[in-house]
């Protein structure tokens, strides 16, 4: 892929994924450097003025009332980063940190933050060298920026703290920069604030989650179709004219996908005749498009919010086009936090309906001729009984993760920052929820594939048969009980690979 160009133009969600997940390089055009230099000139003018300016010649947060003399301002910026790099807990994933670095760099490249061109160049060089600061799970309240996470990244830019190099090895930041030929940055006025006052961590996780959820909702339509087929359900409920009566776009899209996946199925044809006494299927089959579709529409709304935030300049204070440097509250993460919380709800519900479909295939009283728990020798074998337990445990966890973080503001900084968004926390729990949904769908995939095999000699639809065949490359078909955990892991890996799409 071509390098991602940085400047005032918004990044796309595809740009973020390319840099975060695929190590596509970034470039700083000369026009961007000129824009950054122009904004920097305004900061340097204010730095020598008698009137104090927040973040340029004052302290920060509750200490903003203190005027800092010129000979202490380098120490001020350095102390800001060191003190704010106060995270704790496990390391955050590499792709999240790279997204965070990229998004902060894009804001710095807009010419509204007042950093020096050399600082922008150094950040770009770090990204391109694959140097990833160690960022910890806890430390952001989602207001005044993702402070601790962004400070960890800024600390590495200064040559301090720990990083992962391009090989994934844990090294001192100064060592990694030296090996890459990058000079550590000595921060000047305003630069410390500019490096940490952003929603970049929560936004990066939102963009990555949107991508993941597109793939998982496509997969959920597939596993739903396989389950409907295996349970001898009807495909009449997926007809386009029925869904046109309720014109939610996501619902129509899911219904059309499920109908197409079932097209040409011998199993479906086997029970279409007048002898079929089924009036209607259970909700978990019949209402799959309504649930999956609502989830799709929620993701579509999340895309709107993400794209707006990708077009935003988040810093405090900001440098305006006329040279004014003004304080603001744009760093408050509420717009992003709300939608991160919102997404956790359909993730939990899509997993919940998938678990219900799985359970029907295992219950001899509801599975229409399938053996109990799809076991080879029921009683001796337990089949997929406990795989459904795993699903149930995860679905229960997903319900807890759907509880919003954004309503749980907690005051900080001596009540200067008395209302915060908790957007970082919302993003972290959404990532866990996306992983949980992946596992739940993996179990449904395994179970539905086994059920379809047990419907032989009747053949499934070409599309669902292809999914079963792909799974069978790594997971055996029906037979006596085997160690199931590796098979669940194999199904998860297959889902994450994108091969089933």
Band (234; pLDDT cuts 50, 70, 90): very high
114, 117, 123, 129 alpha-carbon torsion, rounded to 10° = 170
pLDDT at 253: 98
Q: What is the mean pLDDT of residues 217-236?
A: 97
Tell me if residue 54 is catalytic.
Answer: yes
Q: What is the pLDDT of residues 43-74, one digit of tens each?
A: 888 887 777 777 777 776 666 667 777 778 78
| CATH code for the part of the protein at 205-497 | 1.20.200.10
d(CA 47, CA 45): 5
Residue 187: phi and psi, rounded to 5, are -70, 140
C-alpha distance from residue 7 to each of 30, 129, 326, 339 (Å): 10, 20, 21, 26
pLDDT at 38: 95
What radius of gyration, in Å, describes the C-alpha atoms of the chain?
27
Fold of 4-198: Fumarase C; Chain B, domain 1 (1.10.275)
CB 349 within 8 Å of CB 231: no
pLDDT at 237 exceeding the cut of 80: yes
pLDDT at 69: 79
Band (419; pLDDT cuts 50, 70, 90): confident
pLDDT at 277: 67
Q: What is the pLDDT of residues 318-355, one digit of tens each?
A: 999 888 888 898 899 999 999 999 999 999 999 999 99
pLDDT at 198: 93
Q: What is the pLDDT of residues 145-198, one digit of tens each?
A: 899 999 999 999 999 999 999 999 999 999 999 999 999 999 998 999 999 999
pLDDT at 327: 86
**DSSP letters along 291-345, please?**
HHHHHHHHHHHHHHHHHHHHT----SSEE-TTS-EE---TT--HHHHHHHHHHHH
- Specify the range with the lowest mean pLDDT, choosing from 115-129, 350-364, 381-395, 412-426: 412-426
- Specify the range with the lowest mean pLDDT, choosing from 101-110, 142-151, 160-169, 395-404: 142-151
Q: Where are the domains of the chain?
A: 4-198, 205-497
Report the chain's mean pLDDT, rounded to a whole number.
94
pLDDT at 34 exceeding the cut of 80: yes
d(CA 26, CA 364): 57
The residue annotated as part of the active site, out of 54, 301, 338, 389, is 54
pLDDT at 403: 97
Q: What is the mean pLDDT of residues 276-286?
A: 86
């Amino acid at each position: 892929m071509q390098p991602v160009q940085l400047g005032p133009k918004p990044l796309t969600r595809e740009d973020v994924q390319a840099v975060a997940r695929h190590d596509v390089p970034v470039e700083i055009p000369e026009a961007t450097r000129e824009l950054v230099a122009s904004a920097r000139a305004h900061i340097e003018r204010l730095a020598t003025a008698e009137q104090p300016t927040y973040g340029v010649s004052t302290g920060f947060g509750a200490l903003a009332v203190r005027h800092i003399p010129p000979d202490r301002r380098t120490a001020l910026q350095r102390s800001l980063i060191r003190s704010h790099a106060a995270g704790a807990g496990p390391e955050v994933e590499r792709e999240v940190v790279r997204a965070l670095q990229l998004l902060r760099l894009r804001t710095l490249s807009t010419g509204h933050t007042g950093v020096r061109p050399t600082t922008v160049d150094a950040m770009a060089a770090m990204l391109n060298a694959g140097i990833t600061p160690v960022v910890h799970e806890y430390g952001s309240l989602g207001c005044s920026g993702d402070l601790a996470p962004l400070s960890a990244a800024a600390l590495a830019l200064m040559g301090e703290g720990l990083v992962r190099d391009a090989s994934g090895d844990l090294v001192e930041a100064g060592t990694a920069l030296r090996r890459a030929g990058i000079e550590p940055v000595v921060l000047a006025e305003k630069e410390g604030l500019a490096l940490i006052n952003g929603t970049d961590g929560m936004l990066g996780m939102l963009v990555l989650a949107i991508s993941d959820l597109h793939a998982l909702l496509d997969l959920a339509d597939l596993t739903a179709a396989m389950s409907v087929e295996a349970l001898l359900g009807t495909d009449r409920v997926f007809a386009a004219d029925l869904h046109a009566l309720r014109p939610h776009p996501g619902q129509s899209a899911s219904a059309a996908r499920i109908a197409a996946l079932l097209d040409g199925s011998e199993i479906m044809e086997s029970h279409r005749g007048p002898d079929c006494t089924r009036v209607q299927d259970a909700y978990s089959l019949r209402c799959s498009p309504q649930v999956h579709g609502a989830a799709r529409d929620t993701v579509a709304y999340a895309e709107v919010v993400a794209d707006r935030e990708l077009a935003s300049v988040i810093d405090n204070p900001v440098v305006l086009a006329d040279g004014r440097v003004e304080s603001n509250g744009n760093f408050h993460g509420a717009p992003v936090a709300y939608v991160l919380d919102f997404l956790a709800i359909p993730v939990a519900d899509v997993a919940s309906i998938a678990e219900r479909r799985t359970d029907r295939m295992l219950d001899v009283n509801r599975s229409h001729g399938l053996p109990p728990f799809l076991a080879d020798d029921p009683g001796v074998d337990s089949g997929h009984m406990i795989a459904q337990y795993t699903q149930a445990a995860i679905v229960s966890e997903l319900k807890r993760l759907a509880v919003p973080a954004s309503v749980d503001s907690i005051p900080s900084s001596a009540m200067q920052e008395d209302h915060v968004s908790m957007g970082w926390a919302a993003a972290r729990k959404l990532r866990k929820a996306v992983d949980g949904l992946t596992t739940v769908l993996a179990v449904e995939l395994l179970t539905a594939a086994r059920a379809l095999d047990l419907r032989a000699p009747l053949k499934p639809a070409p599309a669902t048969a292809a999914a079963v065949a792909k799974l069978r490359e790594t997971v055996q078909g029906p037979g006596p009980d085997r160690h199931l955990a590796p098979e669940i892991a194999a199904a998860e890996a297959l889902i994450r690979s994108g091969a089933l799409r």
